[in-house]
Chains A and B, each alone.
Chain A
Amino acid sequence: ETGVTQTPRHLVMGMTNKKSLKCEQHLGHNAMYWYKQSAKKPLELMFVYNFKEQTENNSVPSRFSPECPNSSHLFLHLHTLQPEDSALYLCASSSDRSNEKLFFGSGTQLSVL
């Protein structure tokens, strides 16, 4: 248990569906992240929030919409996704100081049909 919980663990959705991924951390961290990991590709940083404010948007398509209502919760709203968006979506948290490790959730394995 890393202190970062992601739900659901698995998600299958059609291209016209709307779904949301949820992440919760109980570590008292200020920064939360969304990463995407596709098969045989590196970890791709998608979004970063610090104290609920978005500080990074790594040229992510608008069909991915993050939401951070407080520093413990992070959502990723999905709509009109494409099959190439199928991947493992990882949430992480950390303090906002340098040299601090990230704590990752177990991820949501997303399949877009």
Chain B
Amino acid sequence: DQQVKQNSPSLSVQEGRISILNCDYTNSMFDYFLWYKKYPAEGPTFLISISSIKDKNEDGRFTVFLNKSAKHLSLHIVPSQPGDSAVYFCAATATGGSYIPTFGRGTSLIVHP
């Protein structure tokens, strides 16, 4: 049973537009969420995170929104650039619980010039 779900395996966006990547979770104990970005044949790299005490965290072109009641978070990239084309993984942890994150399946983002 997947506790972290990324239901869209792929997303295609035009350069300059907004990319919205979604993530849902089922475990109500999760209270810290991370997004990782992965290029082909490379390891994932940390992108942005959010604690459950917040509903928004922004870092440059990247913003993560958290809706605790819906157990849903989203990553917004605006404006999208061709270099953003990668696989994006959502991950979640529970403070005081296991430090090992639970990952989603990933969403492949393609940004067209």
Contact = CB atoms under 8 A, between A and B. Distances in A.
Interface residues of B, number: 26
Nearest to A107: B43
A39 B28 CA distance: 30
B100 A56 contact: yes
Nearest to B102: A45
A92 B93 CA distance: 16
Interface of B: 9, 32, 34, 36, 41-46, 49, 51, 89, 93-101, 103-106
A-B CB proximity, top 9 nearest: A104-B43, A42-B105, A99-B32, A101-B46, A43-B103, A98-B95, A98-B99, A104-B44, A90-B43
Contacts of A103: 46
Interface of A: 2, 4, 6, 31, 33, 40-43, 45, 48, 56, 88, 90-92, 94-107, 109
A106 B42 contact: yes
A87 to B, nearest CB: 12
Contacts of A104: 36, 43-45
B104 to A, nearest CB: 7
A61 to B, nearest CB: 20
A41 B43 contact: no
Contacts of B43: 2, 4, 6, 90-92, 104-107
A91 B93 CA distance: 19
Contacts of B44: 43, 90, 102, 104
B41 A98 contact: no
A98 B51 contact: no
Nearest to A55: B100
